[in-house]
A and B are shown apart, each in its own frame.
Chain A
Amino acid sequence: MAVALLLAILLITAGCIYLFAAHPWWLPAGVSAHAAAMDHQFLTALWLLGGLFVAAQLLLAFFLIRSRSKNAPYLGGNWPAEVTWTLAIAILFFWFNVKGERLWSAIHPHQHSPDALQIEVTGVQFQWYFRYPGGDGKFGRTDAQRFAKPDEGNPLGIDPADEAGNDDIVSTSLVLPVDREVELILRAQDVIHSVFIPAMRFKQDAVPGMEVHAHLQATQPGNFEIACSQLCGLGHYRMRAVVTVMSEEGFRAWLQSRHP
Chain B
Amino acid sequence: MSKEFEVSKISTNVILKIENICKSFSGVEVLKNVNLSISKGDIHAIVGENGAGKSTLMKIIAGEYEPTKGKLFVNGEEKHFSSPLDAIKNAIILIHQEFSLIPQLSVYENIFLGRLATRKIAGLRFIDKRTMKDEARESLKKIGVSNISVDSKVSNISVADKQVVEIVKALSVKPRILIMDEPTAALSLRETKTLFSILKTLKKQGVTIIFISHRLEEIFEIADKVSVLRNGELISTLNIEDSNMDDLVRMMVGRSLKNRFPNKISHNAKEDVLLKVQNASSEPFFRSVSFELKGGEILGIAGLTGCGNSQLGEALFGFRKLKGNVYFEGQKIQLNNPSQAMKHGILLVPEDRHSLGLVLKLSVRENYSLPNLDFLSKFGFIQLKREKKSVLSMVNGLNVKVTNINQRVENLSGGNQQKVVLGKWIVRSPKILILEEPTRGIDVGSKFEIYKFIYDQVSKGIAVILISSELEEVINISDRILVMSEGRITGELKASEATQEKVLALAVKGKEI
Interaction A to B:
no
